[in-house]
Amino acid sequence: MFGFARFRAGQEEVCRTATNGRDLLLVMPTGAGKSLCYQLPAIARGGTALVISPLIALMEDQVAKLTAVGLRAERIHSGLDREHAREICRDYLRGTLQFLFIAPERLRVPGFVEMLAKRQLALIAIDEAHCISQWGHDFRPDYRMLGDYLPALRGSEAPAPVIACTATATPAVQNDIVQQLGMIKPARFIHGFRRDNLAIEVVEVPVPERARAICSLLADPARRPAIVYATSRKQSETLAAALAVSVRAAAYHAGLDAETRERVQTAFQARQLEVVVATIAFGMGIDKADIRTVIHAGLPGTLEGYYQEIGRAGRDGRPSRTYLMHSYADQRTHDFFLNRDYPAIENLNKIFRLVSDEPQQVEEMRAAATTRLSLSEEEFDKALEKLEIHGGARIEFGGSVTRGGAGWKKTYAVQAQHRAEQFEKVLRFTALSECRMTALVRHFGDDEDAGRGCGQCDVCDPAGAVLRVFRHASPAEREMVQRTIEELRPLDYLAAGTLQKRLEVASRGEFDALLDAMARAGLIEIEEAEFEKEGEMIRFRKIRLTERGLEVRRSTPLTLLIGEGIGREFSDRKTASSAARKSTAKSGRKSSGEAGPVQLTAEQEALAARIKEWRSAEAKRLGVPAYVVLHDRSVQSLAVKRPANPRQLLDVDGMGPAKVERFGAALLQLCGPPA
């Protein structure tokens, strides 16, 4: 029926558990097949399955797919006219529906829950269940109310099982979902956060350079279709306009009318659009398997949201790449949004004093707040939203507001602090010197699968990075590495700040770049730690030598690659990265990432042509774009240097240990002396 010959990993056990009537929590990445885990049990159990889903696009997509395979599915949401919704309700009561999808706010309509409770449901599926948790990255007040309605919907004699599904939930969020939904001894299935076909790059890019970098990246057809996530509506429209000069691109954000959003989404699904530049409103429920690239044009607010968004790439299993651009400016942007979304507690106090036990209409309160309390309409709406979430106000369907309990201040302060800490985790992710995928897997509590690197992110395979440029360490930097090793050799660890002072390195940025290079080379481990001082938690980094680092002597050959920002082909030459300029000034020569075009001899041109021919064949065999095998700059460098052994290969621009191990033998044969 669904067109699959066999279950994917983990699906069969989940389906059997749900079919047997047990509550369960399913945390499974985007594209791993969560929908089947409630759809198949629903059919097996008979009757009607109720699916609660947060987005109209997601509902429409699921209903269309179920209908296409001959199942009777319908949806009720704000986009339908009233008579159509009533007819669907009549179909439900007649028992002719197998699946009914609804938005969570529909449960607040007077009499709607009672109508649903007239029939015994086969099961209740809650999609995007992280939205119920105040610790989740996309928390929604209407989801928080689901636990109040579920007892009536489940029935009393043989309660319908509840299946909570999400792609992004940390252990704390998982526990909160179970508690808030009142789930009965639920089974938990936490599966498959590792995405072996996704390569992650995290690159520091100044805001003015991002549009050029994104346009240059997506000029290559092999990197499309693509989603670009913008941090604001204005940025999404600006980037979309820049891209539309050369590719079929459009903006998508909540400020557009519903018809425009629907048109953009449909065109993207049908490949009439190659790129969508969107705010985080786009992508939930989008089942497009062939997205090759996801770009973040600024820092996301949480790692959970970031993981869910990059998970929309490569759902067909083919190699795909993701790029996260960041700079200090993103922190200022986030601070603005944090202050907007979590207003000062005094604003909430003003609204709390305004509400009473007698019902008032939201519109009347808004007018009073703007005239008497000196609050803008946006400030009023945010403050009232937070009051409702934390129990300080009750808003009934239809817009009447009454006073709630007085305990809202404590939970509000905790949640605001939690939100700030979530962004701190994103900042630490950008500075990590360990495998990007491993860090994400560990973040979601999958410690069993957090022990190996992915082999393809910018940390595991710096020479294979596309946007981010690395150069070989200078003699002065190699000497500093040796001094660092000698300082650490007799000790268990040193704090990064203490180590920097001992070595008398003036620039924190240059020292961090050196530590990152040492970590990538496997010489040191960098551990995030903290201690309490005068009631404040102080974070610091522990630096310790690995076994490999302990073995290093001055004569030990090392491959040390220093991050240089973005490549010139993606950047405005007039605004080259400050790191690259400093490096050039210190070394008295251009780094490999800054080198201009080289004029090849006839013999070198012939060798470059042979290498490109081999590269094309290898890319076709692996099913990847040619640049994944070798960049053009690497081909040129190979033709000029003509390496004769693996050690010389490592000195070639763009060649790292992983590439030498994988392609070294073939390249050395190509570069050998002419027959």
Q: What CATH number does the domain containing 156 carry?
A: 3.40.50.300
Would residue 461 count as lying in a domain?
no
pLDDT category at 624 given cuts 50, 70, 90 is: low
- Domain extent, residue 444, equals 198-334+432-449
Q: Which residues contact 425 (CB under 8 A, 6 or more apart)?
A: 302, 303, 443
Q: Which helix (H) or strand (E) holds 524?
A: strand 524-533
243 and 147 fall within a common domain = no
Q: For residue range 597-606, list pLDDT tens digits in order.
A: 457 888 888 8
Residue 18 and residue 60 in one domain: yes
Are 27 and 124 members of one domain? yes
In terms of domains, do 258 and 316 share one? yes
140 DSSP assignment: -
Per-range mean pLDDT, top range of 180-194, 577-591, 610-624: 180-194
Is 366 exposed, middle or buried, given 0-12, 13-18 or 19+ CB atoms closer than 10 A?
middle
pLDDT > 70? residue 304: yes
* Residue with tokens 């197998």, as numbered in its chain: 98
User: So what's the pLDDT on residue 4?
Assistant: 79
What's the rounded mean pLDDT across residues 124-131? 91
CATH number assigned to the domain comprising residue 488: 1.10.10.10
- The one-letter code for the residue type at 499 is L
Q: How many domains does the chain have?
A: 5
Q: Give pLDDT tens digits for 8-49.
A: 877 899 999 999 999 999 988 776 788 899 999 999 999 999
Task: Decide: helix, strand or coil at residue 216.
Answer: helix
- Which of 166, 190, 214 is the last residue in one of the domains? 190
pLDDT of residue 259: 87
Same domain membership, residue 210 and residue 169: no
Examine the pLDDT at 485 and tell me if it is beyond 80.
yes
- Inter-residue contact 191 to 446 (CB < 8 Å): no
Q: What is the pLDDT of residues 143-193, one digit of tens each?
A: 778 888 999 999 877 899 999 998 878 888 899 999 999 999 999 988 778
Are residue 328 and residue 440 in the same domain, yes or no? yes
Which residues are paired to 163 by β-bridges? 24, 125
In this structure, the answer to whether residues 50 and 159 fall within a common structural domain is yes
Residue 597 within a domain: no
Q: Are 46 and 184 members of one domain?
A: yes
Angle in degrees, CA 88, 121, 37, rounded to 5: 100
Residue 464 or residue 445, greater confidence? 464
Model pTM?
Answer: 0.71
What is the pLDDT averaged over residues 564-576? 68
To the nearest whole percent, how much of the chain has pLDDT over 70? Answer: 92
Are 394 and 302 found together in one domain? no
Q: Name the band, by pLDDT with cuts 50, 70 and 90, for residue 579.
A: very low
Residue 574 confidence class, pLDDT cut points 50, 70, 90: very low
The answer to whether position 573 is within a domain reads no
**Is 314 part of any domain?**
yes
Residue 448: predicted pLDDT: 67
| Domain's final residue, options 155, 190, 225 | 190
Determine the pLDDT at residue 179: 92
Residue 564: half-sphere exposure toward Cβ, Cα within 13 Å = 32
Output DSSP code: residue 272: S
Q: What is the pLDDT of residue 272?
A: 94
User: Within this chain, do residues 220 and 349 fall inside the same structural domain, yes or no?
Assistant: no
DSSP 432: -
- What is the pLDDT averaged over residues 438-465? 83
Flag whether pLDDT at 285 surpasses 60.
no
- Domain end, chosen from 173, 190, 207, is at 190
Question: Is 427 a domain residue?
Answer: no
Residue 633 has pLDDT above 90, yes or no: no
C-alpha separations of 42 from 20, 186, 628 in Å: 11, 17, 43
Summarize pLDDT for 290-303 with one digit per residue, the tens.
Answer: 999 999 999 998 89
Question: In this predicted model, what pLDDT tens digit does every residue of 241-278 receive, in sequence order?
Answer: 999 999 999 999 888 888 888 889 889 988 999 999 99
Residue 168, in any domain of the structure: yes
Distance of CA 75 to the CA centre of its chain: 29
d(CA 173, CA 444): 10
CA separation for the pair 25, 164 (Å, rounded): 5
Q: Of all residues in the chain, what percent carry a pLDDT higher than 90?
A: 37
Note whether residue 583 is domain-resident.
Answer: no
pLDDT tier for residue 93 given thresholds of 50, 70 and 90: very high
Q: What is the CATH number of the domain that holds 648?
A: 1.10.150.80
Sole residue written with tokens 């800490």: 421
Separation CA 392–CA 76 (nearest Å): 30
Interior CA angle at 17 toward 15 and 22, to 5°?
130
In a domain, 571, yes or no: no
CATH number at residue 357: 1.10.10
294 and 226 Cβ atoms separated by less than 8 Å: yes
Within this chain, do residues 212 and 182 fall inside the same structural domain, yes or no? no
> Mean pLDDT score of the chain, rounded to an integer?
85
Would you state the torsion angle of the CA atoms of residues 210, 215, 216, 219, taken in this order, to the nearest 10 degrees?
160
Residues 318 and 440 in one domain: yes
Cα 120 to Cα 59, 88, 114: the distances in Å are 22, 17, 12
